[in-house]
Amino acid sequence: MTEQSTLPLLAIEHAKKSFGNTEVLKDISLSVTPGEVVAIIGPSGGGKSTLLRCATLLETLDGGSLSFGDVQVAHDENGRAVYAGKDTIKKAKEQFGLVFQDFNLFPHYTVLKNVMDAPVSVLKRPRAEAEQHARELLAKMGLSGKEDMVPCELSGGQKQRVAIARALAMNPEILFFDEPTSALDPELTKEVLKVIRDLAAERMTMVIVTHEMKFARDVADRIVFMDGGFIVEEGPASSVIDNPQHQRTKSFLSNYEGE
């Protein structure tokens, strides 16, 4: 193992974020190591999605620091987050992929074009190479034969699997999922969770915001329970789900008993 791989792939320290007078992230520190699967759980409004949006640079932190491996994106200066320049941000964005709950596919692009577009336009990969890789990823997602369809011809589960293939096409070090099954019915949820389970088995580094507790327990190495803008409890997945220590965690998980 090289020296580089011992660095956390993601390190967030003392993250703070407010919208107006509402403090959404109050003092969050989280690191993710290579090959680790971290599930973030908690009630709506607890700060999970905001943390993910700050980690993936869709929102900026007010305070704290953020880095991907040795790429320092933001550092804390007198309680204020100061962001690096454009080139560093671009380098950081190449480290991760993001899968949204509502797919965010280009509706007028074919499935194949959705997957191969960014590697060609952003990473400047040769078109033939990007196409071959895209076809391999779609086959891996169980979508062979769908390459020439457009998103409106697909089921929700198929769209989400295209979205996962699109994220993987950029060869990210780490994948973020923001409630990837919340827009899907139970049958389609199973399809998508199977794909994520397979990626976990391959030791893909992932951070997953989810309401699927059984899935989180089975697939995640570590679970982070957030509420009120804080990390209330974190630990090995089975420990947090089966034997939570904090009363707030117990109360939250009691709603999922027997899932």
Angle at 5 between CA 11 and CA 74, to 5 degrees: 25
Q: What is the pLDDT of residue 4?
A: 44
Q: What is the pLDDT of residue 103?
A: 86
Q: What is the pLDDT of residue 131?
A: 96
Instruction: Write down how long the chain is.
Output: 259
Q: Give the Cα separation of 173 and 186 in Å (integer).
A: 29
Q: What is the pLDDT of residue 14?
A: 96
Angle at 127 between CA 121 and CA 133, to 5 degrees: 100
pTM as predicted: 0.92
Q: What is the pLDDT of residue 221?
A: 95
Q: Are 255 and 72 in contact (CB under 8 A)?
A: no
Query: In the chain, where does DSSP find H-type helix?
Result: 48-55, 86-93, 111-121, 127-140, 156-168, 186-201, 213-219, 237-242, 247-254
What averages of pLDDT result for each successive group of 10 residues across the chain (259 residues)?
65 96 95 96 93 95 96 95 95 92 92 95 92 96 95 94 94 94 87 92 95 91 96 95 94 76
Q: What is the pLDDT of residue 257?
A: 60
Q: What is the pLDDT of residue 38?
A: 97
Q: What is the pLDDT of residue 123?
A: 87
Q: What is the pLDDT of residue 188?
A: 86
